[in-house]
Each structure stands twice: as C-alpha cells, then as structure tokens.
Chains A and B, each alone.
Chain A
Amino acid sequence: MAEKVKTIYGPCALVYCSTKTGTWRIVRPQIDGEKCVLCGICEKYCPTGVVNTIKMKTEDKKKAEGRVEIDMTYCKGCGICANVCPHDSITMIDEREA
C-alpha cells in the first residue's frame, strides 16, 4: 500500500512513553496473605485502579478465601493502599529489593 509522510507543525505527541506508570515506582506494596481479610478497601482507594480483590466462595463463611492482585505495570507505589489497610497487611518495600 502506498504511503506518504505527513509533517505536523507545533506541539503534539505521537509517541506515548510515560503511560506505563509502574516505571515510576521506588517502593512496592507487599501483601501479607495471613493478615489480609480481602475487605477490598485498598481496591476502592487505589488512585490508579490497579488493585483487584478476588474472593472465592468457601464453605466456611467466616473465612474468606481468595487473593489481591496488583497490576505492577501501572502501580506507582504511592502507598495509599498500605495507609488505608485496616489490618496493616500491606507493607511498602524497596523496589530494589523486590
């Protein structure tokens, strides 16, 4: 297929390089599965919306089972999840050690 090169004058972006906000991170959330009760508060507060709480049905209704997934491609490491967690189950750890 034939193509021609078109030139644009003035400010605009044709390449998006800073949208993977995970590259900004210097600390990352680490979840203690023992303490986590899957309440989902971190998910609600996450400003980038990268936390996903997955609950599975269990026979014992008092004990929730499942996991919290965080999309590290976009998690900026802001630490809000660790701040709002009512069970102190999230610790921000140094990205270099992760």
Chain B
Amino acid sequence: MIQIKIYGLGGQGVVTAAKVLCEAVAIHEDAHAQAIPAYGHERRGAPVYADAVISRDPIKMKGFVYAPDYVVLFDDSVIDKGIDVMAGTSEQTVFIVNTQKLKDKYPFKSNKIYRVDAQAVALKSLGRDIPNTAMLGALAGAGIVGIEAVKAAITSKFGDSAPKNVEAAEEARRLIRADEKAEPNKDIDTNTKNHAAFVK
C-alpha cells in the first residue's frame, strides 16, 4: 500500500489529480486505489490537500492519510502559508515538488526529493498555470504509476483538452529528476503492480 498526500493551492487541480491518479491505478492498471479529498472553505489560492491510497490489494482504510510514503507539492508556497508538509512523514518519505529549483526553506532537505518545473510545463503545454496533469506525469516519472495508465486516465477525464494535458504529463515525466546532477528520467517499468513499495 502506498499512501500519498498532495498539497497545493485551490485552483491548481489537486483534487482532480488525486482522482486521475486513482483512475489510472484502479482502472488502467487493475490494482486498487482511492482518492479522498478534504473539503473545507474553498477558495482559489487557499492551501488545499487531497489524499490518495494505491495498493495491490483491496484497501480497507477509509480515512485520511496520516503517514504518507509520498508527499507531492503542487506549490511550495503552502510551506509559507503555514501548512506542515512534514506531518506524519518519516526519513523514507519521498517528496515530489513543483519548483524551478530546490530552496533552502524546504524542511525536507534530508529526504529524497524529486523536482520538476510543472508550472513551466503547464504554461507551455496548456497555456495556463494549472500544473495537475504535469504533476501526474511527474508521479509516473517518480515510479508511482505507469505513464500509459496516466495518459489513459487523463484521456478519459479531460475530453477535448486531453491531448494537451497528455503532452504536459509526458513532458513532466521526461523532465523530472531526483537530484540536480541526475540525467533526465530514463524509461523505467512503472506499472503499479511492479512498484518497489509493493514488493518489499
């Protein structure tokens, strides 16, 4: 079972991303997944989060994620807005961050970090700063889910704007990297069922 927490700002498509990730895993990879959005006093720009759990076996737990294996930041300004992105994390927790460069303020500097400039990818592919589909590609690049499943789920969810969003996902998957010196992502087998977290 892999538990994922996605933080971002209202309007960035955080909830949609959690749903599309789960559709990719549950429908297109035939594993199990559930997306649990947290609803509150919504407004554009306010910090929001959504939880996703993906698993090879049926998922019993029905609540929120308290010990994330992955923390995904659609916008690192949530840290300045008082969101404790370290909540429930451990040394093993992997961070996936939408940013141009890693910043000193990150409280997770000793954790494994994947970085991608999803904002730039989204602006290039979609012409709008909605990084959710690019970040879904980044999740595939980080090995959480297969890119083909992500593309299929985006295609079924986004209708006419699917091609642009698929492009964003592919581009972000290509650009994501684990550290500054690493080569851009190589092709890796990222079907959820073969994921390292399931095998351990």
Q: Mark A77-98, 1 if CB is under 8 A from B, else 0.
A: 1000000000000000011100
In the complex, the answer to whether B46 meets A24 with C-beta atoms within 8 Å is yes
Interface size on B, residues (CB 8 A): 10
Candidates B45, B77, B129; contact of A24 at CB < 8 Å: B45
Work out how many contacts link A and B, with CB atoms closer than 8 A. 15
A96 adjacent to B45 (CB under 8 Å): no
CB distance from B107 to the nearest CB of A (A): 19
Give, as a whole number of angstroms, the nearest-CB distance from A15 to chain B: 15
Residue B43 is within 8 A (CB to CB) of chain A in the complex: yes
Q: Is the CB of B77 within 8 A of A77?
A: no
Question: Cα distance A24–B9 when bound, in Å?
Answer: 10
Least Cβ–Cβ distance between A38 and chain B, in angstroms = 29
Is A67's beta carbon under 8 Å from chain B?
no
Identify whether the interface residues of B are mostly helix, strand, loop, or mixed.
loop
B77 touches A96 (CB 8 A): yes
Of listed B11, B44, B46, residue having the most chain A CB within 10 A: B44
Q: What residues on A are CB-neighbors of B9 within 8 Å?
A: 26
Residue on B with the closest CB to A26?
Answer: B45
How many whole Å from B80's CB to the nearest CB in chain A? Answer: 10
Q: Mark B35-50, 1 if CB is under 8 A from A, else 0.
A: 0000001011110000
Q: Is the CB of A94 within 8 A of B43?
A: no
Chain B residues numbered 8-61 whose CB sits less than 8 Å from any CB in chain A = 9, 11, 41, 43-46
In the complex, the chain B residue whose C-beta lies closest to that of A96 is B77
Given A26-B9, A96-B77, A77:B129 Cβ within 8 A: no
Expressed in whole angstroms, the Cα–Cα distance for A18 and B45 within the complex equals: 13
The 8 A-B pairs at the shortest CB distance, nearest first, are namely A26-B45, A24-B45, A24-B43, A25-B45, A26-B9, A26-B44, A24-B46, A96-B77
A positions within 8 Å CB-CB of B = 18, 23-26, 77, 94-96
Further pairs besides A23-B81, A24-B43, A94-B129: 6, Cβ < 8 Å = A18-B41, A24-B44, A24-B46, A25-B45, A26-B44, A96-B77
